Amino acid sequence: MAADPLRELDDDATSYVAAHALEDYLSAAVDAAIRSKPENPLTFIAEYLLRQRDSDAPAPQRSLSTPGRGRRNPLKLELHAKARSQENPDYPQRLAVSDEQCRWTVEWPSYMPPVWTHKVVLANDRDLPTGYKWADPPDQRQLRSELEERTTFATEGGVGECLRGAIDFDDEGSPLNPVGRTGMRGRGLLGKWGPNHAADPIVTRFHPETKQLQVVVIQRKDNGQWAIPGGMVDAGESVSVTVKREFAEETGNLRTEEERLEFKRLLDDLFANGKQVYRGYVDDPRATDNAWMETTAFHFHCPREVGDKLPLAAGDDAGQVMWLDVSADNETYRNLYGAHRALIDEAVFGAWARGELQATMIGCD
């Protein structure tokens, strides 16, 4: 019987991997390839590893930490590329932060990034008599005790912890991004100090003719990028309710009552079962040193009778909606918003490993 490539390593193998920092080297190589997007990623990774072998530099550290705390997370391979970028057109110029300067554990006494919070965030301060009240007040010092009790999932295994025991605060009482520096302080376009919680429904199907695996994506109105149709978790709302609500709002803008009823019926069937595939910090171009995105992602795979019939029409924050091929050869898929490609890859890999997609694929014939 062939060995299962997905089985866990035994203790000797695990010790060998740790002793030679193999996981750290390979993670760093893949991270570099993701940022560079070379035409031949395998050649790029091989050359990267050869340079590492021939250099005197210490082994790269895969763990992304705040002062005094080390954490591990599979999706953190590519984190903080977008959070340090200028991908969001509304943001002023960030202070440039290199990979080596990103971690809070690295001394940088002269680090003085710009402080910026968008006017739309300030206008929706929950304490103002006007606005929609989805944002925190601007003075984080008055919120310190409240902030310490908030929950973050930027932890080992995505287990919720209070900020008090999981996140460091600076001298002004601002929570510090658990991955590291972003080149900007304040909240940017994010309403909450610290973690801003979202929910992302990953809805897949096999194309009825080509049998290509596809995922539902929407084109965001704010920046034109393609993304998973997710959104912010409202206060007091469960994540399971959010993923269904957001998917319906952004993909179910149908014209006739008959279409809407059919969409609701199919959606109720589809969202009755789903698997949580990730919960934790995600790389996002809106992040700052003091506010960041965390998400809970669920995977819902359409059986053929649902995937073939599910009508899609853009609504709410979506400009367009479509079924997108899950393929590294697809430029749109390669350049999905934020960490959405990583979330989809995580969901698809897990479903294949559990044998769920193979079983569904049989029904496509």
The string of DSSP letters for 137-192 reads -S-GGGGHHHHHHSEE--SGGG--EEHHHH--B-TTSPBPPSS---S-EEEET-SS
Does the pLDDT of residue 279 top 80, yes or no? Answer: yes
pLDDT score recorded for residue 133 = 95
Question: Is 294 a domain residue?
Answer: yes
Does the pLDDT of residue 38 top 90, yes or no? Answer: no
Task: Give the separation between CA 47 and CA 73, rounded to whole angstroms.
Answer: 25
Average pLDDT of the residues in 304-314 = 68
Least confident of 26-35, 85-94, 205-214, 252-261: 26-35
Neighbours of 119 (CB within 10 A): 7
Choose between 121 and 230: higher pLDDT: 121
Q: Between the CA of residue 363 and those of 208, 216, 358, what are the distances in Å?
A: 10, 20, 9
**Quick one: pLDDT band at residue 63, thresholds 50, 70, 90?**
very low
Does the pLDDT of residue 312 top 70, yes or no? Answer: no
**Quick one: pLDDT band at residue 326, thresholds 50, 70, 90?**
very high
Does the pLDDT of residue 277 top 70, yes or no? Answer: yes
Question: Is 6 a domain residue?
Answer: no
Give the pLDDT confidence of 106-125 residue by residue, as tens digits: 999 999 999 999 999 999 99
Domain identity same for 211 and 330: yes
Mean pLDDT, the chain, whole residue set: 81
Question: Is 316 a domain residue?
Answer: yes
Give the total number of structural domains in the chain: 3
Domain identity same for 220 and 354: yes
Domain identity same for 135 and 240: no
Question: Is 3 a domain residue?
Answer: no
**Quick one: pLDDT band at residue 55, thresholds 50, 70, 90?**
low
Does the pLDDT of residue 188 top 90, yes or no? Answer: yes
Residue with tokens 């008959």: 258
Range with top average pLDDT, 75-84, 230-239, 292-301: 292-301
pLDDT score recorded for residue 194 = 98
Choose between 92 and 263: higher pLDDT: 92
Tell me which residue range forms the domain holding 125.
64-194
**Quick one: pLDDT band at residue 15, thresholds 50, 70, 90?**
low
Question: Is 263 a domain residue?
Answer: yes
pLDDT score recorded for residue 48 = 77
Last residue of a domain, one of 194, 228, 250: 194
**Quick one: pLDDT band at residue 2, thresholds 50, 70, 90?**
very low
Task: Give the separation between CA 41 and CA 105, rounded to whole angstroms.
Answer: 30
Domain identity same for 40 and 83: no
pLDDT score recorded for residue 159 = 85
Average pLDDT of the residues in 277-301 = 93
Task: Give the separation between CA 204 and CA 92, rounded to whole angstroms.
Answer: 36
| 125 bridge partner residues | 135
Question: Is 143 a domain residue?
Answer: yes
Domain identity same for 203 and 350: yes
Q: What does residue 234 show for φ and ψ, rounded to 5 degrees?
A: -70, 155
Strands 115-117 vs 185-188: parallel, antiparallel or unpaired? parallel
Question: Is 120 a domain residue?
Answer: yes
pLDDT score recorded for residue 256 = 81
Average pLDDT of the residues in 38-48 = 78
**Quick one: pLDDT band at residue 10, thresholds 50, 70, 90?**
low
Query: Which of 113, 189, 175 is CA-nearest to residue 146?
Result: 175
Domain identity same for 55 and 105: no
pLDDT score recorded for residue 324 = 93
Does the pLDDT of residue 74 top 90, yes or no? Answer: no
Last residue of a domain, one of 129, 159, 194: 194
Question: Is 1 a domain residue?
Answer: no
Does the pLDDT of residue 353 top 50, yes or no? Answer: yes
Give the pLDDT confidence of 140-174 residue by residue, as tens digits: 999 999 999 999 999 877 889 999 989 999 999 99
**Quick one: pLDDT band at residue 4, thresholds 50, 70, 90?**
very low
Query: Which of 128, 34, 28 is CA-nearest to residue 338?
Result: 34
Query: Which of 233, 323, 204, 227 is CA-nearest to residue 283?
Result: 227
pTM of the model: 0.72
Choose between 44 and 324: higher pLDDT: 324
